[in-house]
């Protein structure tokens, strides 16, 4: 087996700080992260042909030419099915000790854990788990931003719960992605305990330095490297008006605008078109609705990972 291939995977959960993990890890000189943040390579039970149009359009499908270049302009996500293409993602590894990738569908996927173990039996697995009610609401805010949703949160929740069929890239899965117990159990059953690390999002937010030092030690790299924690990655924001919402939902239009703007102007354009002011807030009714759904799973997860998760059951 070639040496320049992953020896660790961050498998999720979605909307739980994994983008920040990815960016902080990239700052470490002994760590190499795949230039496609989410490859979905091992999620073989997900079927791109069944994806809803707006999600399918968000994927970078033809990466052949990009793989032959310097790969400096990273890609957020693509379905990299071909093994040879997957290996190409790591051809620029030099002397880094830790080689990894982040794909949030690996936690939800029923096949990813076994697929990773089959190919990389000694790989280290990292999870970041977030209060599922908070995760669902953050997911909803993201969907507002990109135009997947325009309704209020409760309406969006109930609409998504009633969808049939359901699945990754097919429905929003505000509930299903946050039902962690069976998802985590798959990895506990598949990998030895010493190859697993499970972090809680609240701990990460409160003390990112401590979590990253522990993660660096887990990966076998220096834990005294300076990491810039000042920037927030993937924060919540929404379009400033409905017209921008409608335009933003058009993937081709977004891609055209992005291609026309120099990188130096993209942040300024985002500030002009989007805002993090007056973001919708989850109501007490919505929170209680979610807690009632998630409570059995939270209690099961608490026993599985031997962590007190009672704060997740509090209706704040």
Q: Tell me the pLDDT tens digit for each residue of 192-213.
A: 999 999 999 999 999 999 999 9
97-108 average pLDDT score: 97
Residue 75 C-alpha from the chain's centroid: 13
**Exposed/middle/buried for residue 107 (C-beta within 10 Å: 0-12, 13-18, 19+):** buried
Tell me the pLDDT tens digit for each residue of 252-266: 555 545 555 555 555
What are the distances in angstroms from CA 4 to CA 36, 42, 86?
16, 18, 11
Q: How far apart are CA 226 and CA 207, in angstroms?
A: 15
- Would you say the pTM of this structure is higher than 0.85? yes
Q: How confident is the model at residue 279 (pLDDT cuts 50, 70, 90)?
A: confident
Tell me the pLDDT tens digit for each residue of 106-128: 999 999 999 999 999 999 999 99
Residue 84 C-alpha from the chain's centroid: 24
At 103 the pLDDT is 97
Q: How far apart are CA 213 and CA 227, in angstroms?
A: 10
For residue 173, which phi and psi values (nearest 5 degrees)?
60, 45
Which pair of tokens denotes residue 283?
């109501």
**Burial per residue of 63-85, b for 16 or more beta-carbon CB atoms within 10 angstroms, e otherwise:** beebbeeebeeebebbbbeeeeb
Tell me the pLDDT tens digit for each residue of 49-62: 899 887 887 776 67
Is-cis flag, bond preceding 106, omega within 30? no
Quick check: 287 pLDDT over 60? yes
Hey, what domains does the chain have and what are their CATH numbers? 8-136+176-235 (3.40.50.300)
What are the distances in angstroms from CA 233 to CA 17, 23, 90, 144, 226?
8, 8, 23, 18, 18
At 238 the pLDDT is 47
101 and 34 in contact (C-beta within 8 Å)?
Answer: yes
At 247 the pLDDT is 53
Q: Determine the angle formed by the axes of helices 132-146 and 284-305, rounding to 10 degrees.
A: 120
Torsion over CA: 76, 81, 99, 105 (sign): positive
Torsion over CA: 79, 84, 87, 92 (sign): negative
Tell me the pLDDT tens digit for each residue of 6-65: 999 999 999 999 999 999 999 999 999 999 999 999 999 999 889 988 788 777 667 998
User: Across all residues in the chain, what is the average pLDDT?
Assistant: 88
């Amino acid at each position: 087996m070639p040496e320049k291939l992953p020896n660790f995977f961050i498998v999720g959960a979605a909307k739980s700080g994994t983008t920040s993990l990815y960016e902080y890890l990239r700052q470490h000189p002994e760590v190499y992260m795949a230039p496609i943040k989410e490859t979905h390579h091992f999620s073989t039970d997900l079927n791109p042909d069944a994806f809803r149009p707006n999600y399918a359009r968000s994927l970078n499908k033809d990466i052949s030419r990009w793989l032959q270049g310097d790969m400096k302009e990273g890609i957020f996500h693509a379905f990299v099915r071909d093994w040879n293409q997957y290996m190409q993602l790591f051809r620029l590894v030099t002397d880094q000790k830790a080689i990894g990738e982040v794909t949030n569908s690996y936690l939800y996927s029923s096949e990813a854990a076994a697929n990773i173990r089959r190919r990389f039996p000694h790989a280290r697995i990292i999870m970041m788990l977030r209060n599922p009610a908070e995760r669902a609401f953050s997911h909803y805010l993201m969907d507002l931003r990109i135009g997947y949703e325009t309704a209020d949160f409760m309406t969006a929740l109930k609409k998504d719960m009633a969808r049939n069929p359901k699945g990754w890239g097919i429905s929003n899965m505000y509930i299903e992605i946050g039902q962690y117990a069976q998802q985590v159990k798959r990895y506990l059953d598949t990998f030895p305990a010493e190859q697993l690390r499970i972090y809680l999002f609240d701990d990460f937010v409160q003390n990112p330095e401590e979590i990253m030092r522990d993660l660096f030690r887990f990966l076998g790299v220096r834990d005294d490297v300076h990491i810039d924690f000042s920037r927030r990655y993937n924060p919540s924001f929404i379009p400033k008006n409905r017209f921008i919402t409608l335009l933003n939902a058009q993937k081709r239009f977004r891609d055209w605008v992005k291609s026309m703007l120099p990188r130096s102007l993209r942040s300024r354009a985002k500030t002009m078109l989007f805002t993090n002011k007056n973001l919708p807030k989850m109501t007490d009714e919505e929170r209680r609705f979610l807690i009632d759904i998630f409570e059995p799973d939270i209690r099961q997860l608490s026993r599985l990972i031997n962590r007190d998760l009672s704060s997740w059951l509090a209706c704040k």
